[in-house]
Every structure is written in C-alpha cells, then in structure tokens.
C-alpha cells in the first residue's frame, strides 16, 4: 500500500507570494492533518480535514488555509508569505476521526526569501 | 504548561545497548493516545508505536516498547539492542479526546539520539 505523498518536496518562494502544497493520503484513509515544523516552534498542528470539512484549526493566522477534495486529497495554501513561514510542512493521514494513529508523508520544505 | 515534555535534548548511546527516551504528558482528558515518532535527517516522520489511555498492557512493536505509567503520566520509549540506523530525532506526541479528538497531535521538543559504534 502506498504511503502518504506530498508535492512538491522542495519550494522556494519570495515574501508576499502565495503557495499551495498538496497531500495525497494513504488509500482508504479519509482524514488529513497538516503540521508545520520549524527549529524555533517545533511541530505545530495546522488543521485537520475529514469528508471535505475542516474539523479543527491550530493557532495560525488566516493566511493559512486548506481544503480537502472528494477523493480525500488535500491542499494547503499560504498567502502573503512571510520569512517566518519557512518550514517543513508535514501532512498526515489517518483512517478517520474515530481513530488515533496518524501516518506522515515526507514533507514539503518551504523556503521564503 | 507544556502538554508533552521530553527532558533529554540529546543522547549518545553505544551500539547494541538498550535506550530509554523519556516522555511525560499532561492532560485532564481520560481518553487520549500517546505516540512515538522517529524523524531521520531526511525529515519524514516515521510512526513507531502507539499506546491508548485505556490499554492495560504496554505497547510493543519489534525492538520498540512503550513503558506506560499512567499515574505518573509517563510514556517512555525503550529501544532494545540499538543499531546505527536508530540515530535520529525522536518525538513523543499525544492526541486527546474521545475517538481521536479533533485537535491534532501535540508534540514534544524531541530527543536527538546518536548511536555510536
């Protein structure tokens, strides 16, 4: 069974631009969560989607948004990029909201210059 | 207050020795799950082991075991017979709430484990 895939793996953007990251969960998994990892703040929860609905959102500004499609694939978007948005963005999938385990993808490393 | 505390920023261990990575957690929710993940330098988070708050026995997965002491709110990871490939960052994480909750995983700061030959 294929794991979680994320595209692109690496991205360089300029301040003020926007970016869209993509995540395809494990086949059969219907929940997708997004996390940001930085050296200073560590790993922080961004949001979780299930059945195309956002279940909850972490403490991030409105510039961070996401969505989930009917095939469970998810995208996250960051608008008006700031230098502090440079991070590893990790996507995790799980079977559904009634389960605890989450399996992570390889991440997208975003650099904002 | 931090929900997940990992007190060992870094550890050096000789190959083939057993390793214990410490993790304490804080929650008032009776339903929660505890996880350990391994993150090599490549960045991918690799799931190692899971322990539910209602599980009576400590979880084991191959060389990994979780020493779950509920009253002390402790969930230490034990790696038996360490290998060079075990060198990585290790994160303890918790998810609160019935049915997996909706707030995602809360992670500790991590422990950087280095296995020496």
Q: Which B residues in the span 57-96 are in contact with A, Cβ-Cβ below 8 Å?
A: 91, 93, 95
Q: Which residues of B touch A91 (CB under 8 A)?
A: none
Mean pLDDT of B90-106: 80
Q: Determine the pLDDT at residue B100.
A: 55
Q: Rounded mean pLDDT of chain B? A: 92
Question: Of B65, B59, B67, B79, nearest to B19 (Cα)?
Answer: B79
Q: Looking at residue A68, what is its pLDDT?
A: 97
Across residues B15-42, what is the average pLDDT? 95
Lowest mean pLDDT among B28-32, B66-70, B76-80: B28-32
How far is the C-alpha of B31 from the C-alpha of A57, rounded, in Å?
20
Residue B101 confidence class, pLDDT cut points 50, 70, 90: low
Residue of B nearest to A6 (CA): B44
Question: What value does the mean pLDDT take over residues B58-72?
Answer: 96
| Residue A104 to residue B44, Cβ atoms within 8 A | yes
Three-state SS string over chain B comes to CCCEECCCCEEEEECCCCEEECCEECCCCCCEEEEEEEECCCCCCEEEEEEECCCCCCCEECCEEEEEECCCCEEEEEECCCCHHHCEEEEEEEEECHHHCCCCCEECCCEEEEEEC
Tell me which residues of chain A have a pLDDT lower than 70: 1, 98-100
Query: How sure is the predictor about B51, in pLDDT bands with cuts at 50, 70 and 90?
Result: very high
The reported pLDDT for the residue numbered A69 is: 97
Cβ separation A45–B104 shorter than 8 A: yes
Query: pLDDT digits over B6-18, tens only?
Result: 999 999 999 999 9
Q: Give me the percent of chain B exceeding a pLDDT of 90.
A: 82
The residue of chain A nearest to residue B52, with distances taken between CA atoms, is: A100
Q: What is the pLDDT of residue A55?
A: 87
Percent of chain B residues topping a pLDDT of 70:
94
Indicate the pLDDT class of residue B45, thresholds 50, 70 and 90.
Answer: very high
pLDDT at B58: 94
Q: pLDDT band at residue B1, thresholds of 50, 70 and 90?
A: low
Q: What pLDDT does residue B57 have?
A: 93
Decide which of B103 and B81 is more confident: B81
């Amino acid at each position: 069974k294929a794991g979680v895939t994320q595209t692109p793996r690496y991205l360089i953007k300029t301040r003020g631009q926007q970016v869209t990251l993509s995540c395809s969960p494990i086949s059969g998994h219907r929940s997708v969560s997004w996390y940001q990892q930085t050296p200073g703040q560590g790993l922080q929860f961004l949001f979780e989607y299930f059945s195309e609905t956002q279940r909850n959102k972490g403490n991030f500004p409105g510039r961070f948004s996401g969505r989930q499609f009917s095939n469970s694939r998810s995208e996250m978007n960051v608008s008006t990029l700031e230098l502090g948005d440079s991070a590893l963005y990790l996507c995790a999938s799980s079977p559904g909201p009634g389960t605890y385990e989450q399996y992570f993808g390889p991440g997208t490393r975003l650099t904002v210059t | 207050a931090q929900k997940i505390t990992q007190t060992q920023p870094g550890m050096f261990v000789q190959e083939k020795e057993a390793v214990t990575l410490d993790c304490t957690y804080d929650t008032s929710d009776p339903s929660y799950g505890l996880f350990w993940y391994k993150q090599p330098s490549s960045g991918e988070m690799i799931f190692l082991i899971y322990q539910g708050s209602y599980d009576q026995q400590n979880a084991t997965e191959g060389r990994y075991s979780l020493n779950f002491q509920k009253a002390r709110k402790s969930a230490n990871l034990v790696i038996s017979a360490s290998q060079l490939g075990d060198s990585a960052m290790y994160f303890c994480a918790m998810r609160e709430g019935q049915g997996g909750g909706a707030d995602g995983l809360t992670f500790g700061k991590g422990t950087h484990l280095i296995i020496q030959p």
